[in-house]
Amino acid sequence: MLIIRTVAELRAHVRGLRAKGHIIGLVPTMGALHDGHVSLIAASSLRATSTIVSLFVNPRQFGDASDLAGYPRTEEDDAARAQAAGAAVLFAPSVGEVYPDGYSAEVRISGPLTERLEGAHRGPEHFHGVTTVVTKLLNMVAPDVVFFGAKDAQQVLVVRRLVRDLNLPVDVVALPTVREADGLALSSRNVRLSSADRRRAVAIPRAIAAVVEAYRAGELDVPALTARATAVLADAGLTAEYVAIADPATLEPRAVVDGPALLALAVPVGPVRLIDNTLLSPVLADSPVPALSGAGRTGGYVQQVPQSPEKG
């Protein structure tokens, strides 16, 4: 596996691959790779003939300087995991390579899609940072297909809107959330949890499970459903920043679950802020509770994310 640090070297390498007829897959990451990332790399290896994993902790999507400073950075381990999963290239640029001196451009998606949920709590600049860096990575790599995890459901929707609105020639693929044995969604931030906080964090998938069970039992009132989650979290000494049930395509808040709806929540656990989600849908009546899937299993709303049949 090659490790490339400059855009010029990356583009030269990609040109060579294109000349040989390769299909290019991109897996964007901020490092601290876990089995969720591995699943994305493996999926890319099935669809693309050459997979590029980007490793870049993007300062423009952090509103909290301490969160940025504390974000785990484990490049040596990340390179080993990426290579073992089938990546051909690890693109690990410096901040100066991505944002050179005098950099002033920004790619924005305005409106409710970036202003609700994460946008409301982390500020709209968070998604401006996401859309800017994703656009830059897509321009740098020029992949045929790019892979994201469904744990950040809102980010998937924002990236799809970005690709559609800018007519970017890439397919966006979202894959289900990978979970640990107790249901906690894998996240690079999990390594920052103390043992006590890790035990409390399992209340997040339990809160999701409580909502799913109530929904399967016939409860459709959103305040009643979100109250189930809030109670489970409170029992663990946790208070959510938000527990929301919204339209899975627009994030418009729902009052009643009269169709497929996205359940999303963000919960601070000690110094770490964790997010998770699942889809409330009639198909749940005959399926296991996704939040309690076993180790390495998946759960989430990805199956319901609108898929575009064509690039851009």
Last residue in a domain, options 175, 199, 227: 175
pLDDT mean for each 10 residues of the chain (312 residues): 98 97 97 94 97 93 80 90 97 96 94 95 89 97 97 96 97 96 94 96 97 96 98 98 97 97 98 96 59 45 36 46
Structural domain containing residue 139: 2-175
Question: What is the residue-wise DSSP string for 19-67?
Answer: HTTPPEEEEEE-S---HHHHHHHHHHHHH-SEEEEEE---GGG-S-HHH
CATH number, domain at 288?
Answer: 3.30.1300.10
Residue 52 lies in a domain: yes
Residue-level pLDDT at 72: 80
Residue-level pLDDT at 304: 34
Strand pairing category for 2-4 and 89-91: parallel
CATH number, domain at 38?
Answer: 3.40.50.620
Residue 292 lies in a domain: yes
Q: Which of 198, 176, 182, 204 is nearest to 271 (CA)?
A: 198
Catalytic residue among 22, 34, 37, 121: 37
Residues 198 and 164 in one domain: no
Residue 181 lies in a domain: no
- Interatomic CA distance for residues 281 and 229, integer angstroms: 17
Instruction: Tally the domains of the chain.
Output: 2
Residue 109 lies in a domain: yes
Q: CB under 8 Å to 78, separation ≥6 — which residues?
A: 29, 31, 32, 33, 55, 90
Residue 311 lies in a domain: no
Residues 61 and 206 in one domain: no
Q: Give Rg (Cα) of the chain.
A: 19
Residue-level pLDDT at 284: 58
Residues 7 and 108 in one domain: yes
Catalytic annotation present for 37: yes
Residues 168 and 194 in one domain: no
Residues 162 and 21 in one domain: yes
- Interatomic CA distance for residues 186 and 151, integer angstroms: 9
Residues 123 and 204 in one domain: no
Residue-level pLDDT at 123: 83
Last residue in a domain, options 119, 146, 175: 175
Residue 247 lies in a domain: yes
Residue 115 lies in a domain: yes
Residue-level pLDDT at 70: 79
Residue-level pLDDT at 100: 96
- Interatomic CA distance for residues 187 and 273, integer angstroms: 10
Residues 147 and 234 in one domain: no
Residues 167 and 192 in one domain: no
The one-letter amino acid code at 171 reads D
Q: CB under 8 Å to 199, separation ≥6 — which residues?
A: none
Residue 308 lies in a domain: no
Last residue in a domain, options 175, 206, 224: 175
Residues 139 and 46 in one domain: yes
Residues 72 and 158 in one domain: yes
Residues 277 and 243 in one domain: yes
Residues 171 and 193 in one domain: no
